[in-house]
């Protein structure tokens, strides 16, 4: 029984080391009340009651892994600014190794500011630059990442299309990982999946898969398999894991297809669910479980977080309780 297998692993006390490389950002929330319109323009006036930040992007994947019990090294690029210092402070307090994060003075740290009236988002303001890293910074990043790759049990790429995963840099990182026999799991973004060539697993959602495979839509199993095989051929990946929202997730390889039905009993907020899925997959595969087992557990993890508001995280014990309650 899978739940007992996981409990045995937990009792053994193994703590996998996972390297997360990706686009780093800050989620900044301004929360208040809006009871009137401005006399200057037909927009709400927000009376601010609270303001806070949380790590976003690849840093949210790291937080999910930390909650599951992994040791984390986080790699990426920020600006050389006060927001980078704020992010670094939060990561250090949480016990995430941020030694593989570089600062780039030519870009700001990515910040997404959401203005909320109660639970309603009124506007989002983004501060970001998405140009690729300079050639010198790419070389420095690769050189520094080698030690982190050596120490990792598994590697996660969290691509938010903010400039880190330029094709040349992405390929260098995958080659370094494969040279050391380390599996790379990719949460992709954008239309060019050739840059992920050599990755072990690529995890798009349905819309991302359709766009990358250049198909108009995916509305049935046959279309999903056909699109996934386009990406398998492009990248040489062993598996494409497709998240399907209310339908669960599908695991596609050259020889097999498996649908894992959704485990959610209710859906409140899907924000950050993709980060939870890839974190759970990486954690359980680093513990020695196979892809089917890891995806089954990730499916339960997603069911837990989408019942909560915002980017939530979960624990192994909560996943086990969710499995055993069904």
Distance CA 19, CA 74 (A): 6
Residue 190, in any domain of the structure: yes
Beta carbons of 243 and 251 less than 8 angstroms apart: no
CA dihedral 187, 147, 153, 258 (to 10 degrees): 20
Those residues with Cβ within 8 angstroms of residue 321's Cβ, 6 or more apart along the chain or in another chain = none
Full 3-state SS string of 154-199: EEEEECCCCCCCCHHHHHHHHHHHHHCCCCEEEECCCCCCHHHCCC
pLDDT for 267 equals: 47
Q: pLDDT by residue (tens digit) across 259-293?
A: 887 665 554 444 557 889 999 999 999 999 999 99
List the one residue out of 104, 178, 188 whose CA is nearest residue 146: 178
Give the strands of the sheet with 120-127, arranged side by side: 44-57, 24-37, 110-117, 120-127
Say if residue 306's pLDDT is above 90: no
Query: For 12-16, 103-107, 189-193, which range has the lowest pLDDT when averaged over its residues?
Result: 12-16
pLDDT above 70 coverage of the chain, percent: 94
Predicted confidence (pLDDT) per residue in 169-201, tens digit = 999 999 999 999 999 999 999 999 999 999 999
What does the pLDDT read at residue 269?
A: 42
* Average predicted confidence (pLDDT) for the chain: 91
| Residue 302 belongs to a domain | yes
Give the active site residues: 275
Residue 223 tokens, joined? 């279309």
Note whether residue 65 is domain-resident. Answer: yes
CA dist 38 and 245 (Å) reads: 38
Is residue 51 in a domain? no
Per the structure, the complete domain to which residue 226 belongs is given by 2-25+56-108+130-324
Using alpha carbons only, what angle is made at residue 275 by residues 156 and 138, rounded to the nearest 5 degrees?
40
Give the number of C-alpha atoms closer than 13 A to the C-alpha of residue 76, restricted to the C-beta side: 37
> Is 149 in contact with 280 (CB distance < 8 Å)?
no
Q: Evaluate whether residue 300 is within a structural domain.
A: yes
Report pLDDT for 268.
Answer: 43
C-alpha to C-alpha distance for 201 and 164, rounded to whole angstroms: 19
CA–CA dist 179, 171 (Å, integer): 12
Task: For residue 307, name the pLDDT band (cuts at 50, 70, 90).
Answer: low
pLDDT at 57 over 90: yes
Check residue 247 and give its pLDDT.
Answer: 77
- Domain-located, residue 211: yes
Q: 208-256: per-residue pLDDT in tens?
A: 999 999 988 898 999 999 999 999 999 999 999 998 877 788 999 988 8
What is the count of structural domains for the chain?
Answer: 1
Distance from the Cα of residue 324 to its chain's centroid? 26
Q: What is the CATH number of the domain that holds 96?
A: 3.40.1190.20
Decide if 48 is inside a domain: no
Rounded CA separation 301/305 (Å) = 7
202 within some domain: yes
Residues 6+ apart with CB under 8 A from 32: 46, 47, 48, 49, 50, 115, 116, 117
């Amino acid at each position: 029984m899978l739940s007992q297998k996981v409990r045995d692993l937990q009792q053994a006390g193994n703590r996998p080391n996972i390297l997360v490389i990706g686009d780093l950002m800050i989620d900044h929330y301004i929360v208040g009340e809006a009871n009137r319109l401005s006399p200057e323009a037909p927009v709400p006036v927000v009376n601010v009651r609270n303001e806070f930040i949380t790590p976003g992007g690849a840093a949210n994947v790291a937080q999910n892994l930390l909650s599951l019990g992994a040791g984390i090294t986080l790699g990426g690029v920020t600006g050389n600014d006060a927001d980078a210092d704020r992010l670094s402070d939060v990561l250090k307090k949480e016990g995430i190794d941020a030694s593989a994060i570089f600062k780039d003075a030519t870009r700001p740290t990515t910040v997404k500011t959401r203005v909320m009236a109660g639970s309603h988002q009124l506007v989002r303001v983004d501060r970001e630059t998405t140009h690729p890293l300079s050639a010198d910074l790419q070389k420095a990043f690769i050189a520094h990442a080698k030690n982190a790759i050596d120490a990792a049990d598994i590697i996660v790429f969290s691509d938010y299309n903010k400039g880190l995963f330029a094709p040349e840099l992405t390929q260098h990182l995958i080659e370094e990982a494969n040279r050391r026999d380390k599996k790379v799991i990719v949460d992709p973004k954008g239309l060019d999946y050739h840059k992920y060539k050599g990755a072990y697993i690529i995890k798009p959602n349905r819309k991302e898969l359709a766009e990358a495979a250049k198909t108009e839509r995916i509305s049935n199993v046959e279309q999903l398999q056909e699109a996934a095989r386009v990406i398998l051929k492009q990248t040489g990946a062993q598996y494409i894991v497709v998240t399907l929202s209310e339908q669960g997730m599908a695991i596609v390889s050259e020889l097999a297809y498996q649908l894992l039905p959704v485990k959610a009993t209710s859906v409140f907020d899907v924000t950050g669910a993709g980060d939870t899925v890839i974190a759970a997959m990486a954690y359980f595969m680093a513990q020695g479980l196979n892809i089917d087992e890891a995806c089954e557990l990730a499916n339960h993890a997603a069911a837990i977080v989408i019942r909560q508001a915002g980017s939530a995280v979960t624990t192994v014990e909560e996943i086990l309780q969710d499995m055993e309650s069904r």
